[in-house]
């Protein structure tokens, strides 16, 4: 779907799979360049969603980055070794330990 113009200079881990990326590009760009188009599943129907606007407006690119859910992949810069995965349904709820 997309072709890189600059060669990858690092790797990220998506769903446990190592993928090539460039440090500083957005996570959404890195995933699209690797052929990944489904980033999340909707809470109600489980429909597949992927990035649309690539500028932080549509929220169709929500993923889990490390332990953080509801991260907009188009706004997350790639760092070497970054770990991310699909977001399935709604964001989980973490009870306050206090
Ligand atoms: S692609 Fe639209 S908010 Fe990320």
Structural domain contains residue 2: no
User: Over the stretch 9-47, which tens digit does the pLDDT of each residue have?
Assistant: 999 999 999 999 999 999 999 999 999 999 999 999 999
Structural domain contains residue 94: no
pLDDT of residue 94: 65
Q: Is 37 in the pocket of ligand 1 (CB under 6 A)?
A: no
Domain membership of residue 57 as a residue range: 10-88
Q: Is 59 in the pocket of ligand 1 (CB under 6 A)?
A: yes
Structural domain contains residue 68: yes
CATH number at residue 70: 3.10.20.440
- The upper half-sphere exposure of residue 40, i.e. CA atoms within 13 Å in the direction of its Cβ, equals 23
Test site for ligand 1: of 31, 52, 76, 84, most ligand atoms within 8 A of the Cβ: 52
Structural domain contains residue 72: yes
Structural domain count, the chain: 1
CA dihedral 9, 53, 91, 1 (to 10 degrees): -50
Structural domain contains residue 98: no
């Amino acid at each position: 779907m997309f072709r890189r113009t600059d060669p990858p200079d690092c790797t990220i881990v998506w769903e446990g799979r190592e993928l090539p990326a460039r440090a500083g590009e957005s996570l959404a760009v890195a995933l699209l360049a690797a052929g990944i188009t489904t980033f999340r599943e909707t809470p109600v129907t489980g429909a597949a969603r992927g990035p649309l606007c690539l500028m932080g407006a549509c929220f169709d690119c929500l993923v889990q980055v490390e332990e953080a859910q509801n991260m907009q992949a188009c706004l997350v810069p790639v760092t070497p070794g970054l770990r991310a995965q699909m977001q399935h349904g709604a964001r989980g709820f973490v009870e306050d330990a206090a």
